[in-house]
A and B are shown apart, each in its own frame.
Chain A
Amino acid sequence: MSTASHTMVYEKKALPAKVATTGWALLILGLLLGVAAFMMDALRMQFVSIILFTFLAGIGITALFMVSIEYLAGAVWSTPIRRVFEMMSSIVLFLPLFALPVVLSMGNVFEWMSPKAATDQVLINKAPYLNQPFFLVRLAVILGIWILFYVLFTKNSRKQDETRDQSLTARNIKLSAIFIPVMGLSITALSIDFLMSLEPHWFSTIFGVNFFMGSLVAALSFITIAVILLNENGYLGKGIVRDHYYSLGFAMFAGCVFWTYTAFSQGMLIWYANMPEETPWYLHRWEDGWNVITISLLVVHFIVPLFALIQRKNKTNPARMIFMSCWLIFAHMFDLYWIVMPVHSHVAKIHGPSIGLAELAAALIAIGFIVVLFQQQTKNKNLVPVGDPKLQRGLAFRL
């Protein structure tokens, strides 16, 4: 374990052109399909745009959370791959763009905006919080804070590549200590605004944590795919080994189990208490054939990842890790579908679960956008934080 054998020889290499081509192709195809879906079924596309926004928002902010938790906890295993986390979190810069379709169609998707809400005593009581101006203010403040922290974190991190100034790490540690509680509150507020308020009579105090964990698993999945593809093709220098893959897989496993813990405790407590103001949310996801979707979610988001990711040989196998990452990205989309689309079925008076062009378009836009963004981000930045004081220890990380 001499330090000499782990010294990184990093040379910046440009990503091959096919990455950009694929990304743009997916994104443009998704956008075209999205327009077509909007023409065919505007209401479905409006609901799906909530899925798209919360999917990207959750991934962007939890990737930034991984950066800050690394600083705050003094973790070393993720230092050599922290640039990938930072690049993934640059999604937050574009979130206002993705929030726009939702904001424009608020009146159609949010029950508390409909004329019926004016006569509903429960919604009248909730109106001081659930009203359009305050919603927009909250959205602006939350996205503003996220963008601010993204800029501060990445500015310090990139400056360190040239200056090798250790005090920049200390500055980011202080930032992290401020960021983590702010992020916890803001992601909870965002999930309440965009997902929980779709059924405004219902409430659950663990909902924000559940959304956070689902998003974290999806963010780690995208990061894992990027890290493995970059490293196996030699873009991250030499020194990142299977032990780093293992740690990513371990974090994904923990996230999946904690997601299930929060989802199950929310469901079980409501089921046990059986109170009329809490149960309808689950009834909407159980009746009319939605029980098939609910049980599939349990299998897709918990049982399969539990047995796949508990094994060490799977967590250290690049091909299997990429497969499980794709699986978990799908699982998070499926989770958001399960949260949002029963409301659409209710509003559009459709019986049972249904899927349309809009869902496919959203998936293509999300993946295409992330690929394009990542490719743009890698253009003039180092893929490894070469000036970070923890880099050598991170490369020497072994289980």
Chain B
Amino acid sequence: MSKSQKMNKNEEQLFAVTGQFETPDDIMHAAEKAACRYRKFDVHTPYPVHGMDGAMGLGESPIGWVTILVGSTCMLLMLGFISWISLIDYPIVWAGKPYFNLPGYIPILFEITILTGAVTTVLVLFLIVSGFPRNNHPLHDTPYMQRVSDDRFGLCIEAADENFNEAEARALLEEMGAKDIAPIYFNPVEADAGLRLSNPIFMVFLAGVVVVVSGASYFALNRMLELPPFNWMNVQDKTVPQTLHTVFADGRSMQKPVEGTVPRGYLPEDNYKEDPDAMAKYFANPLPASQEVFELGREKYESRCSACHGFYGEGDSRLQGQYPAPPTLHSKKVVDEWNDARIYHVITYGQNIMPAYAKQLTKDERWAVVHYIRALQRSLNPKESDLQ
């Protein structure tokens, strides 16, 4: 039983007269004829029939303007947003590119244009075609809609048309050879009672959804994690910083270093920048003179130092006068008077026009370079024992 037949006829109004056709050719001709007489009519087919918009006398749809206007507006907004972030709010140099990095923005702008254009187009179509947020339509649940969404092609002449007359519309459909010609009634009260944003029940329901979703999220993220068994990752038998420790007498979980010791990698060399002699006095090369250390020193020396100092430390710069050549590393001063820590000081803080290499070389690498320089010096002035 269709909805329209169940209701009291007194409350109902005529929505449309409908007829059904068997073939796409028939519906095409029917649409052409209906278009001569009526403006408010529609065609329903189980699949898209090409050329139908021409037959129905529809012009070009303005929906494309919605797509392009919304898409390009959102693209410009996004461009402004990215520019604001990268020029004003949080400018960082990334991969050596300029702050305003247009080629990198283009994929994002492209995606935003497509996304906003497409979503807005669909929403606007909902609004126009089905009167969103209305959730019903007189044609819903009618035998007409059942057939035209399956194997028939339907023509629906609406009563709202200014030329509409029920008997005349029926006659026209009969003349065109339509089958199952039937009027469709609708109940204005029921049509109005559909889902509306202003409906109090709907508003209360919406508020309820908000409370339940946010409450559940809060519970899951803030409360549930404190309850067993979800807290197992949080509560573990281990010492974490800034907590009381029961083993040590002073109760600290982070102990101070032992008096008179320095942790590895934490030599307090920053204090000796202005005082190279003190550094030479208090420091010694911590690395062993092993094959690995020499290899590391050679690699770092050749990549960082050799451009000016030469591959053998003779001050034979490869820069051909573009930068002043340094003195040789085989001088009496460097070989005999300076100890390892004194050379280390030069590498760390620079000397004269030689810049500091603390940023380019780690501490171990610098000590390894010192070892390698010593090896270069020995190779030029070998001892008796080396020659045997």
Contact = CB atoms under 8 A, between A and B. Distances in A.
Contact of B24 (A1, A243, A310): A1
Given A274-B96, A312-B60, A398-B51, A1 B28 contact: yes
A274 B55 CA distance: 56
A271 B98 CA distance: 12
A253 B51 CA distance: 21
B36 interface: no
B25 interface: yes
A2 B25 CA distance: 6
A35 B24 CA distance: 61
A398 B24 CA distance: 13
Contacts of B104: 268, 272
Contacts of B106: 264, 268
Nearest to A261: B110
Interface of B is mostly: helix
A313 interface: yes
B50 A397 contact: yes
A1 B95 contact: no
B188 interface: no
Contact of B25 (A1, A267, A399): A1
Contacts of B60: 312-313
Nearest to A307: B68
A1 B68 CA distance: 33
B103 A267 contact: yes
A243 B53 CA distance: 12
B51 A272 contact: no
B251 interface: no
Interface in B163-177: none
Contacts of A267: 103
A399 B60 CA distance: 12
A283 to B, nearest CB: 15
A331 B51 CA distance: 33
Interface in B64-90: 68
A312 B58 CA distance: 14
A254 B362 CA distance: 55
A310 B51 CA distance: 20
A274 B95 contact: yes
A397 B49 CA distance: 10
Central interface residue in A274, A312, A397, A398, by most chain B CB within 10 Å: A398
B158 to A, nearest CB: 24
B49 to A, nearest CB: 8
Contact of A399 (B24, B28, B50, B107): B50
Nearest to B68: A310
B46 interface: no
B54 interface: yes
B51 A1 contact: yes
A268 B109 CA distance: 14
Central interface residue in B50, B54, B68, B96, by most chain A CB within 10 Å: B50
Contact of B103 (A1, A272, A313, A399): A272
Given A1-B25, A267-B103, A272-B104, A399 B95 contact: no
A305 to B, nearest CB: 16
Contacts of A398: 50-51, 54
A294 to B, nearest CB: 13
Interface of B: 24-25, 28-29, 50-51, 53-55, 60, 68, 95-97, 103-104, 106-107
9 contacts: A1-B55, A268-B104, A268-B106, A268-B107, A272-B95, A272-B103, A274-B95, A274-B96, A313-B60
Given A1-B24, A398-B51, 4 more contacts: A1-B55, A268-B104, A268-B107, A398-B54
